[in-house]
Structure 1
Amino acid sequence: MSSIESNDKKSREGPNNDSKTERNRVENIDFKASAKEEIIVRSVIPKRRQDLLKWNGWGYKDSKFVVKDDVLHFTGDRYPGIGDHPLPYFTTWVKEKLGVDIDQFQKPQDPPNPEDYPPVNLTDQDFENIKKLNVSYSIDGEDRLIRAHGHTLDNIYKLRRSFFKRIPDIILWPTSHDDVVKIVNFAQDNNLVLIPFGGGTAVSGAIECPDDDRTIISLDTSQMNKILWVDRENLVICCESGIFGQDLERELKRIGFTSGHEPDSYEFSSLGGWVATRASGMKKNVYGNIEDLVIHVKMVTPKGVLEKNCQVPRISCGPDFDHLIMGSEGCLGVITEVIFKIRPLPELQKYGSIVFPNFESGAKCMREVAKLRCQPASIRLMDNDQFKFGQSLKPKYSFFGLILEGLKKIYINKIKGMDFNSLVVMTLLFEGNSEEVGAHEKKIYEISSKFGGIPAGETNGKRGYMLTFLIAYIRDLGLEYHIVAESFETSVSWDRVLTLCNNVKHRIKEECSKRNLKYYMNSCRLTQTYDAGCVIYFYFCFNYCGVEDPVKEYEAIEEIAREEIIASGGSISHHHGVGKLRRKWYGSTVSDVGVSLFKAAKKEIDPKNIFALENLVKSKM
């Protein structure tokens, strides 16, 4: 072990990081050339992620909420409309709603010292053999810590207050499918554990290290981010799995296309992660979920490569094993390449918003829109608590802004008789050509008027959409002021939407009362819609002053809320996956036979349990 430790500093870059061969470079590509031409992508996210991203929280180091002179600010200019603007109403809201004392700031702990990281559990012989793979590696403590977690509340709280018992022993950065084959074969031959790591945005606990005495390798796919080819005629593209969402969309936009897949985490999550977790995006109404976009997946397993031998839009050849890969959450192998659909960039994007007198009327409007199959790219309904939360994050108005805002309030409160304490807001995003968008807007606003809806303008719609990308930043801020917060989602049939929302909110309220939690917020919103139902996101936070273990308290309440969701007809997850957090409900969701089938597939593909993630395969039967 001593020889490994002594090589800690120089091992960070490994053999494949010579500046002349670094893959993250820009090349001038002739996009009118062959459809099979490779595009080398310069990623926004560097290989050493902590140079740009926070080591102990969400997002960019230069982007965060801070309180200055009792006023909230968001630093940086990466998010249009909110960066570097004072947000004077937020501190008043958190004081009243959550009992926050702005003077009681909790500074997160500093990064660990080099000697504080768990020792590298790797024999000298295995280390020498890993070097011979000619794959970039690192055993640096900070590199290992960055890849030891996702972004659950527990993960981020530990980073700020304590530490992880187990982190990966070594990081490997393959640059191709062939590299992955070498790594998986090596792990199989030497009985080592592999954890595939994409963007690290998981909120299910899936990528946390298992309780395993073997050496744990984190296989970081971020350097596998090439666009291997673009087929304009058939509107499909082939990419390596490690490409980040924002890099993919930037490169597609340059040549006039989009994937349309935009999960809340798309800035930092990867294509392979989307497939492995069976992801959904905010614009799925137009472009579809990941299972609707994927044409072909290539996955390396200890038994070999799993893939179909043709790339057609649909094939009838027995069970579709792509669907075994989608949602497998890293238990079966490493996704290396994905072929998926793309679409020409829309001519126009237009935001909108509608105010309704109450949640029920907004939900009924949403149901009618889905019934008529006229959903815009994105349609979401915030309840009253979320509406107020969003209002608290508005910048200070100019004089004329105040006048206009006052007129809006008079119009809503006096003319239409809406109560500020019950009204809700629906946010909209339309995409298409100008004629299509105009006709779509007209139809949606006509439907909404039947349910008491009032158009509330583009600005509110755009701000509501943009706030989605800032929620995790706000959660990090909360931890500095004794607030724990998290979201959890479900899907449910239309006839049970209101009942489920009411039941879950009521149950959380009861639990907060039992536990003497005076200050909390318990809200929800409706998001993706389908013919048969929709998605409900719950947001729950509380002031944990005086609570000994706030994360344990939160998790206990969320578990009770999840039981209520299931009792009310909801699913264990719509797109967050199972991971470690929800595996206790997997068996009852898919049946004992379903669990047995998955375990049989696991045993066949990975007999030594090289991909030893305690997710689906640890479910109770």
Structure 2
Amino acid sequence: MMQEVSREKVERILPKNRSKVLKWNGWGYKDSKFFVTKEGVIRFTGNRYPIGEIDLPFFTQWVQKTLNIDIRSRNVPQNIFKSNEIPHCFIPNDFLVALKNTKMDFTTDGPARICRSHGQTLYDIYTLRYDKCFPRISDIVVWPMNHENVITLVELANNYNVALIPYGGGTSVSGAVTLPKYEKRCIVSVDTSQMNKLLWLDESNLIACFEAGIVGQDLERELKKLGFTCGHEPDSYEFSSLGGWVATRASGMKKNVYGNIEDLVVDVKMVTSEGVMEKNSKVPRMSCGPDFQHIILGSEGTLGIITEVKLKIRPLPKCISYESVIFPDYDSGVKCMREVAKQRCQPASIRLMDNMQFKFGQSLRPMNNKFENLKEIFKKIYLKRICAFDYDSLCVMTLLFEGSREEVNLHKNRISHIATLFGGINSGEKIGKMGYMLTFVIAYIRDLALEYNVVAESFETSVPWDKTLHLCNYVKKTVSNECSKLNIKYYLISCRVTQTYDTGCCVYFYFGFNWTGLNNPVSTYHHIESIARDAIIVSGGSISHHHGVGKLRSYWYQNNIPKTTLSLYKSSKHLLDPKNIFAIGNLMCYPISKL
């Protein structure tokens, strides 16, 4: 049964004035952040997350010990909006007149332009807080309201030779929305946040059609009202957009049950300079020549603007349950995950944290009462003396199960049996749930770190099973050696396995260091990460698993993708966008116009 859904204005997390709700110079909500109290203890504000409005003394101790921060000395972020550095906008008058005639909303306000000229890379946030303004920002922000508006905008861009840069949730960590500084034409930031409606839902065939600007939590809220879920839940799910998921070939934490974005997409509508690309079909599969829809997935805004997406949906699960398992070491945990994947019995989410991340997660617990503290002491004694686990080597696997109560119980028992074969011990629902929920809080830590001379970022890869342990160890060793060469004494490098497949897994690294004594911490960080990326490639890993290429990884894209494949992409670019109005510059690290 097809259910048409009202196109009336819906509640959304991304209003036109984003800075009313979200930080303009950091991650997430304005009312949620880590800060140091007058008593010298780190605390998290707000009530959106489980650790909200709670003092975190163990976390305070952990960061002081690990990164040697001085909580008495804080780098106060600047307000770049109050400076005179915001670049002036350049907008051709004839284009401006034509745009006004379309009745689309737009602005040339400086802060609005800056907010849509960056993502969430270390460079982006450090620049906003402590450096000069970006060398290039958008000249004008436009809010199309629907697919037809985007068609009109693309036609205007081609007629008046202006560049269009799609902008969704702004959560990219690959430099994907950083503007090309050598682009001389007027740059229009196409903010898709107002294209956020559920257009229709087909209950019989379990398909829903959304506008591409809707963000993850809004999409799930609208589906939940009707008893369904999409199940795509990346770490950035609260703020990233559906169009962004498609454009970057995103992956979610629950992909084992629901699939990655390429598994969920039934059809995509994308406006190019040469017309609209779409299948215009709801059939489950076709054998009708090459599937050119796949050129849209991963195109990262270089070929057109995604406007509508048809997605597979599922009824809401009746039972959701968390679990966790402690292993004596990381090697045992990885071998267990390999066996789980081999038997194809992965739950909705299965992730393995190394020892560093385990200790980090433990540090984020609040100060409990005496009884709770005694329980923690007894747990450590039990693991050390009874189980012979070394606290400095153990790791934790967190699990999320979804389905019927019977299915979940059977699934839990099967995973538990496999875990015992590799020395695993069940550690309960509490650790499993906290480990899963902390995923949404981790991103807030970097903002606090920057205030205390610490730069940090994440990077990820996918790797075959037989190379996983070597890759993890080699990358850590490579980073440690480079830190030693640069006389960086206080740093952390850790990893976790976040997604598993028949043939391999996704490994997610966190790296950060105390920059005290260094002149350019961001350049130093990128230098070390580049060496780590080389180590990943040498160890058999991919350029990226789900973050995409953007500009930060374009060097490896060009040097590790077969020439025939690159030629196919270049040909597609020339065919679909002959005037290069989608001039965002991702994937290839030199101007398409020179090809």
Q: Which range moves more in the overlay, 83-92 or 329-338?
A: 83-92
The structural deviation recorded for 1:449 is 0.6
CA distance 1:318–1:34, shift in 2 (3 Å): closer
Residue in 1 that maps onto 2:491: 520
- Sequence identity (%): 58
Query: Equivalences for 1:470-489 in 2 at 5 Å?
Result: 470-489=441-460
Q: Which range moves more in the overlay, 485-494 or 581-590?
A: 581-590
In 1, distance between residues paired with 2:419 and 2:378? 21
Instruction: Write the deviation string for residues 295-318 of structure 1: whole angstroms up to 9, x where unpaired.
Output: 000000011111113221111121
State the SS of the aligned residue for 1:487.
strand
2:2 and 2:203 in contact (8 A); partners too? no
In 2, distance between residues paired with 1:113 and 1:128? 30
- 2:292 matches 1:321: yes
2:59 and 2:363 in contact (8 A); partners too? yes
Residue in 2 that maps onto 1:607: 578
- 2:204 matches 1:233: yes
- 2:149 matches 1:190: no
In 2, distance between residues paired with 1:64 and 1:102? 16
State the SS of the aligned residue for 1:346.
coil
Pick from 278, 292, 297 the counterpart of residue 307 of structure 1.
Answer: 278
- 2:424 matches 1:453: yes
1:353 and 1:458 in contact (8 A); partners too? yes
- 2:118 matches 1:164: no
1:496 and 1:568 in contact (8 A); partners too? yes
State the SS of the aligned residue for 1:50.
helix
Query: Equivalences for 1:138-287 in 2 at 5 Å?
Result: 138-162=107-131, 163-210=133-180, 211-287=182-258
The structural deviation recorded for 1:113 is 2.4
Instruction: Write the deviation string for residues 68-93 of structure 1: whole angstroms up to 9, x where unpaired.
Output: 111111000001x2001111111111
The structural deviation recorded for 1:201 is 0.5
The structural deviation recorded for 1:39 is 5.0
The structural deviation recorded for 1:269 is 0.5
- 2:382 matches 1:382: no
Query: Equivalences for 1:546-561 in 2 at 5 Å?
Result: 546-561=517-532
Pick from 8, 20, 35 the counterpart of residue 3 of structure 2.
Answer: 35
Residue in 1 that maps onto 2:67: 98
* AA of the residue aligned to 1:157: Y
The structural deviation recorded for 1:553 is 0.2
In 2, distance between residues paired with 1:316 and 1:114? 57
* AA of the residue aligned to 1:216: I
In 2, distance between residues paired with 1:215 and 1:223? 22
The structural deviation recorded for 1:587 is 2.5
1:114 and 1:141 in contact (8 A); partners too? no
Instruction: Write the deviation string for residues 493-547 of structure 1: whole angstroms up to 9, x where unpaired.
Output: 0000000011101100100000000000010000100000000001000000011
- 2:75 matches 1:113: no
In 1, distance between residues paired with 2:556 and 2:514? 28
CA distance 1:114–1:135, shift in 2 (3 Å): farther
Query: Equivalences for 1:392-431 in 2 at 5 Å?
Result: 392-431=363-402
- 2:289 matches 1:342: no
Instruction: Write the deviation string for residues 115-168 of structure 1: whole angstroms up to 9, x where unpaired.
Output: 431101113332222111210001000100000000000100000012201100
**TM-score when scaled to structure 2?**
0.97
The structural deviation recorded for 1:38 is 3.4
In 1, distance between residues paired with 2:581 and 2:93? 20
Residue in 1 that maps onto 2:40: 70
Q: Deviating runs (4+, > 4 A) in structure 1? A: none
In 1, distance between residues paired with 2:83 and 2:128? 15
The structural deviation recorded for 1:98 is 0.6
In 2, distance between residues paired with 1:590 and 1:38? 44
1:39 and 1:229 in contact (8 A); partners too? no
Instruction: Write the deviation string for residues 386-436 of structure 1: whole angstroms up to 9, x where unpaired.
Output: 111111111111122112212211211110010000000111101011100
Instruction: Write the deviation string for residues 24-44 of structure 1: whole angstroms up to 9, x where unpaired.
Output: xxxxxxxxx951333542112
* AA of the residue aligned to 2:171: T
* AA of the residue aligned to 2:455: V
* AA of the residue aligned to 2:6: E
Paired residues, what number? 588
2:175 and 2:552 in contact (8 A); partners too? yes
2:402 and 2:408 in contact (8 A); partners too? yes
In 1, distance between residues paired with 2:56 and 2:402? 30
| Ranges in structure 1 where 5+ consecutive residues have no aligned partner | 1-32
The structural deviation recorded for 1:613 is 1.6
In 2, distance between residues paired with 1:586 and 1:172? 31
Residue in 2 that maps onto 1:130: 99
1:184 and 1:301 in contact (8 A); partners too? yes
In 1, distance between residues paired with 2:504 and 2:542? 11
The structural deviation recorded for 1:618 is 3.5
- 2:413 matches 1:442: yes
Calculate the aligned-residue CA RMSD, in Å.
Answer: 1.2
In 2, distance between residues paired with 1:296 and 1:239? 11
Q: Which range moves more in the overlay, 330-339 or 588-597?
A: 588-597
1:599 and 1:617 in contact (8 A); partners too? no
In 2, distance between residues paired with 1:345 and 1:589? 41
State the SS of the aligned residue for 2:483.
helix
State the SS of the aligned residue for 1:376.
coil
**TM-score when scaled to structure 1?**
0.93
CA distance 1:619–1:128, shift in 2 (3 Å): closer
1:598 and 1:617 in contact (8 A); partners too? no
